[in-house]
Amino acid sequence: MLDKTLDMDKSTPTSSQGRPSHFASRNAQEENKPESRKESNEPSSQRKGNDNSISDLLAAFSNYRQGQAPRGSTLGNKMDTSKLAYPGNYLDPMGNTRGGAPEQLPLPLPVRLGPNLGRTVKVNPTRNIDVGRAFRQLDIMCNRNRVRADFNRQRFHERPGLMRKRLKRERWRRHFKEGFKGMVALVRKMKKQGW
């Protein structure tokens, strides 16, 4: 084949000389013919066997709307498209079947998140919370939330390297404390068992 191509007095090889063609023939797609384009502009009822699934679906919907059953249908005129007007009622398909727009839910009130949220204790004599007890509860809450430690830590700037070292040290101490407590609990349990 290469010899025939290099021969200057012969023409280039065609697909009929043994090489398969990688291009589709003109007869591969019927839609590309001018006659089929003219047919596609006509209504779907006048087309001859060139229907696709979308045109079938649209024809079925139009026939249902007009009250006619499409050919080959077993439903007849039973299709109810009234629920498609308000698709928001899909959570309650059997209950709310009346017409009209669905009810609007009231908007939630915005939550106020002030800086003192979680750090306030109200004095309430009916609940036996006087001023002294309120201060004690506030102190307990601040200790539990480590407010003083956060305040002291944020007083001065800490460069990232020192912060990484501090967090690593605190993590190691916390893990060591948990492991030590677990070991002591295990020793006590084994001692109770008589080891």
Listing DSSP states for 107-151 in one string gives PPPPPP--TTTTS----BGGGTB-HHHHHHHHHHHHHHTTHHHHH
CA distance 33 to 143: 84
The answer to whether position 171 is within a domain reads yes
Give the integer Cα–Cα distance in Å for 153 and 150.
Answer: 5
Which of 55, 56, 60 minimizes the C-alpha distance to 41?
Answer: 55
How far is residue 102 CA from its own chain's centroid?
A: 25
> Is 85 inside a domain boundary?
no
pLDDT at 187: 98
Please indicate, yes or no, if residue 52 is contained in any of the structural domains.
no
- Residue 124's φ and ψ, nearest 5 degrees, are -140, 105
Partner residues linked to 124 by β-bridges? 129
Domain count, the chain: 1
Element containing residue 14 per DSSP (H, E): none
CA 158 to chain CA mean position, Å: 40
* Structural domain contains residue 175: yes
In order along its 195 residues, the chain shows pLDDT tens digits of 556 555 555 555 554 555 555 555 555 555 555 554 454 455 544 544 455 777 777 777 777 656 555 555 555 555 666 666 665 555 555 555 555 566 788 888 787 787 777 778 889 889 998 999 999 999 999 999 898 999 998 999 999 999 999 999 999 999 999 999 999 999 999 999 999
Domain that holds residue 192: 159-195
Q: What pairs with residue 129 in β-bridges?
A: 124
pLDDT of residue 12: 53
Does residue 100 lie within any of the structural domains?
A: no
In a domain, 170, yes or no: yes
Residues 76 and 69: beta-carbon distance below 8 Å: yes
For the beta carbon of residue 26, count every other beta carbon within 10 angstroms.
Answer: 8
Domain annotation covers residue 164:
yes
Residue 182 lies in a domain: yes
- For tokens 């004095």, the residue is 123
